[in-house]
């Protein structure tokens, strides 16, 4: 027992040093995130993720709509909206909805609801097929690439932060021509959030400034999305998926 307390004291000191380093690091990261939230940097990084690999080099033979969570849902609805627009722009392209589904209960699945939404937006149902076996971007790309000719061209519809990784994954899977349509949201005019009197004022009080009321929080959310996606890109790079 004589040696127990000195050893415990050493362990506690090490834990305190680790905890101190952790909280200092967390504080620095949080401060940087807040500071970046007052700038447009998060948006432009987000924009880069959506557009850096989105070039369409060849008219697509297939439009691949990546699943975006449950339906109805923000990401899923946005992807369906852009998928319908892409189908209208490329009338000869077939569509593939890539989202896991229970084949025994397909009519109740989110995949089928995406199908219904795209058809509701005017796309001929006979143009649409499904990839329901893949459970992530890599397996979906592998399965779709395995069912197509290597010379086929595809257009990937997905969320902006997911576009770069999706396109690179399909290219690595062997598709020769891959482009992307990032499903960007559109924002309303900030002036609509101000009263007529406030619009005429040169300065607004802090609680009425749109940049403080909304932008900083939106940018903080984007920073989390960006951090997650860069971790995913790193993982895919290490695994050889991209």
Residues 110 and 170 grouped into a single domain: yes
Higher pLDDT, 26 or 235: 235
What is the rounded distance in angstroms from the CA atom of residue 83 to the CA atom of residue 219?
26
Residue 40: inside a domain, yes or no? no
Mean pLDDT of 78-84: 95
% of the chain residues with pLDDT over 70 = 86
Quickly count: other Cβ atoms within 10 Å of residue 220's Cβ: 15
What is the rounded distance in angstroms from the CA atom of residue 177 to the CA atom of residue 240?
19
Domain count, the chain: 2
Residues 88 and 202 grouped into a single domain: no
% of the chain residues with pLDDT over 90 = 57
What is the band of 86 on the pLDDT scale with cuts at 50, 70, 90? very high
Nearest to 98 by CA among 36, 173, 5, 40: 173
Name the helix (H) or strand (E) containing 150. Answer: none
Q: Is the pLDDT of residue 70 over 80?
A: yes
| Summary mean pLDDT of the chain | 87
Residue 195: inside a domain, yes or no? yes
What is the rounded distance in angstroms from the CA atom of residue 65 to the CA atom of residue 95?
7
Q: Is the pLDDT of residue 133 over 50?
A: yes
Residues 139 and 171 grouped into a single domain: yes
What is the band of 68 on the pLDDT scale with cuts at 50, 70, 90? confident
Residues 199 and 152 grouped into a single domain: no
What share of residues in the chain are helix, strand, coil (percent, to 5)?
60, 10, 30
pLDDT tens digit string along 185-233? 876 655 655 565 655 555 554 444 555 566 788 888 999 999 999 999 9
Lookup: tokens for 233: 């890109």
What is the rounded distance in angstroms from the CA atom of residue 214 to the CA atom of residue 219?
9
Residues 71 and 155 grouped into a single domain: yes
Residues 173 and 195 grouped into a single domain: no
Residue 41: inside a domain, yes or no? no
Record the pTM: 0.82
| Most confident stretch, 35-49, 150-164, 197-211 | 150-164
Rg (CA), the chain: 23
Beta strand 62-66 pairing with 153-158: parallel
pLDDT at 85: 96
Range(s) of the domain holding residue 198: 187-237
**E strand segments, the chain:** 62-66, 94-98, 128-131, 153-158, 177-182
Report the CATH number that the domain containing residue 87 is assigned in CATH: 3.40.50.620
pLDDT at 206: 46
Say what the alpha-carbon torsion angle 236, 185, 57, 93 is, to the nearest 10 degrees. 100
């Amino acid at each position: 027992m004589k040696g127990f307390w000195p050893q415990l004291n050493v362990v506690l000191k090490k834990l305190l040093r680790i905890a101190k380093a952790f909280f200092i690091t967390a504080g620095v990261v949080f401060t940087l995130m807040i500071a970046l939230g007052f700038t447009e940097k998060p948006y432009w990084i987000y924009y880069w993720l959506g557009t850096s690999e989105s070039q369409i080099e060849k008219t697509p033979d297939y439009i691949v709509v990546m699943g975006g969570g449950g339906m109805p849902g923000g990401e899923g609805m946005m992807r369906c909206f852009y998928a319908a627009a892409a189908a209208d722009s490329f009338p000869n392209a077939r569509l593939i909805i890539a989202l896991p589904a229970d084949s025994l209960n397909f009519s109740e699945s989110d995949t089928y609801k995406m199908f219904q939404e795209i058809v509701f937006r005017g796309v001929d149902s006979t143009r649409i097929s499904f990839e329901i076996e893949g459970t992530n971007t890599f397996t979906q790309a592998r399965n779709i690439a395995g069912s197509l000719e290597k010379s086929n061209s595809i257009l990937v519809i997905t969320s902006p932060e997911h576009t770069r990784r999706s396109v690179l994954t399909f290219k690595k899977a062997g598709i020769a021509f891959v482009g992307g349509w990032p499903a960007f949201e559109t924002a309303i005019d900030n002036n609509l959030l101000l009263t007529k009197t406030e619009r005429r004022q040169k300065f607004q009080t802090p609680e009425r400034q749109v940049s403080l009321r909304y932008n900083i929080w939106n940018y903080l959310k984007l920073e989390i999305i960006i951090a997650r996606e860069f971790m995913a890109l790193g993982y895919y790079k290490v695994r050889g998926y991209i």
